[in-house]
Chain A
């Protein structure tokens, strides 16, 4: 399971974090991978300068504005789903 957390705190909200969250939700469903991705909102990821922030399996990404959501999904989330490796999964 790939763990995705989207920040919707003050700074991220002002820069489109909530929209990014909704777009990622739609993209995940459209790709039919909702069973392999755990998508959650977070109140603050404590990196406000880079807002909007997204955490993928603990790895932070900044500047994930709504217009970048689709690219972000293809580049950072989908490959992890395809590889079948996510946080909490045992590699051995």
Chain B
């Protein structure tokens, strides 16, 4: 399980009169790092968008291989078309790779300098040094992020916000720095709020009619949140102590899904198991309460419903044991399912397909849905 995670938020606007932005950004994951690429295509509109999209797609695509950031940048420089009239590349870009350990490598080509909010609060420009790659100057940085630090990347439309209108010289990097100094402490590292505040301020300087496309990307490095979900008795009673020890020995939000499972755990801990009367009126069986556990629900039906909610969406206003379970699961970055594979002979002739009572199948379906949403999920069968 990854020990650290990134929250990434972005906000974008296009030049006044254009249908799409000429900026693009992409995020890619590798087993030990996250790559964020931001690009500003020359000009605006569709042509700029195509060039910027090409740039970030190549950057993120190459990052899936074993290439270093420098290799990626060199490939980008070599492949980027150059405008014959202006003798400059058709797009500018930044590529940042943030490793799970907090180590960061950054490469910038003709784009505004990346800022770091130390502790999510105090802005500092990332110190870079110049390198020449295929006769082009790029800025490179190698540094570490601590949990709580936020990286802020932005394009020209933010730097030049209000130019010739409200601000004769535009917002400028120093103006952005001052703005972050003033606003970041109250936002407490909330990436989405920070990206919104920056973009909203830029739009205000542009008086609602931006003279350039603008993109803000904020990425917060933080400790990963884990959850461990115990469901079902093991295939053989001999394996119960090992399964419960495994569950109790793991770090994270503790979720128990199953009536028998809850009884077995409560007995093991020698604490009472009470019925949770919050959802007695729902069409799902109610859950329970065990001291020290974050949530106790019924098993098969609640897990099946949770997967269904992920597949089809939660009906508006719905609140039951499955939505409660999803609140916990969606809040976690990494989830370990400890799945007991004992079969309950009573789960026959219920009028429902027998496969839904195979706990393994139900857990795998839910795990697949969670993985699609970027969660790291491990399944351990007992």
- Chain A contacts to B: CB under 8 angstroms: 7-15, 17-18, 40-44, 46, 48-49, 51
| Contacts known (A8-B286, A41-B286); A51 close to B346, Cβ less than 8 A | yes
CB atoms of A8 and B275 under 8 A apart: yes
CB atoms of B286 and A10 under 8 A apart: no
Please give, as numbers and ranges, the residues of chain A lying within 8 Å of B275 by CB-CB distance.
Answer: 8, 40-43
For this complex, 30 residue pairs linking A to B, each with C-beta atoms less than 8 Å apart, are: A7-B259, A8-B275, A8-B285, A9-B285, A10-B285, A10-B298, A10-B347, A11-B347, A13-B284, A13-B301, A14-B350, A15-B350, A17-B285, A18-B280, A41-B277, A41-B286, A42-B275, A43-B263, A43-B273, A43-B287, A43-B288, A43-B296, A44-B258, A44-B260, A44-B262, A46-B263, A48-B344, A48-B346, A48-B347, A51-B346
Q: How far is the CB of A31 from chain B (nearest CB, A)?
A: 21
Q: In the complex, which residue of chain A has the Cβ closest to the Cβ of B298?
A: A10
CB atoms of A10 and B345 under 8 A apart: no
Provide the bound-state CA to CA distance between A17 and B350, in Å: 13
CB atoms of B346 and A49 under 8 A apart: yes
A-B Cβ contacts below 8 A, count: 68
Q: Name the interface residues of B264-290: CB closer than 8 Å to any CB of A.
A: 273, 275, 277, 280, 284-288
Interface of A is mostly: mixed
Q: Name the interface residues of B288-320: CB closer than 8 Å to any CB of A.
A: 288, 296, 298-301
Provide the bound-state CA to CA distance between A10 and B298, in Å: 7
Please give, as numbers and ranges, the residues of chain A lying within 8 Å of B346 by CB-CB distance.
Answer: 11, 48-49, 51
CB atoms of A9 and B350 under 8 A apart: no
> Shortest 9 CB-CB distances between A and B: which pairs?
A48-B346, A44-B259, A43-B259, A9-B259, A13-B285, A11-B346, A41-B275, A44-B260, A49-B346
Provide the bound-state CA to CA distance between A49 and B350, in Å: 11
Provide the bound-state CA to CA distance between A8 and B286, in Å: 7
Q: How far is the CB of B14 from chain A (nearest CB, A)?
A: 52
| Contacts known (A43-B273, A49-B346); A10 close to B259, Cβ less than 8 A | yes
Q: In the complex, which residue of chain B has the Cβ closest to the Cβ of A6?
A: B275
Provide the bound-state CA to CA distance between A33 and B159, in Å: 75
Q: How far is the CB of B1 from chain A (nearest CB, A)?
A: 29
Please give, as numbers and ranges, the residues of chain A lying within 8 Å of B262 by CB-CB distance.
Answer: 43-44
Q: In the complex, which residue of chain B has the Cβ closest to the Cβ of A11?
A: B346
Residue among B287, B288, B298, B300 with max Cβ neighbours from chain A (10 Å): B298
B67 at interface by CB-CB < 8 Å: no
Please give, as numbers and ranges, the residues of chain B lying within 8 Å of A51 by CB-CB distance.
Answer: 346
| Contacts known (A44-B259, A51-B346); A10 close to B280, Cβ less than 8 A | no
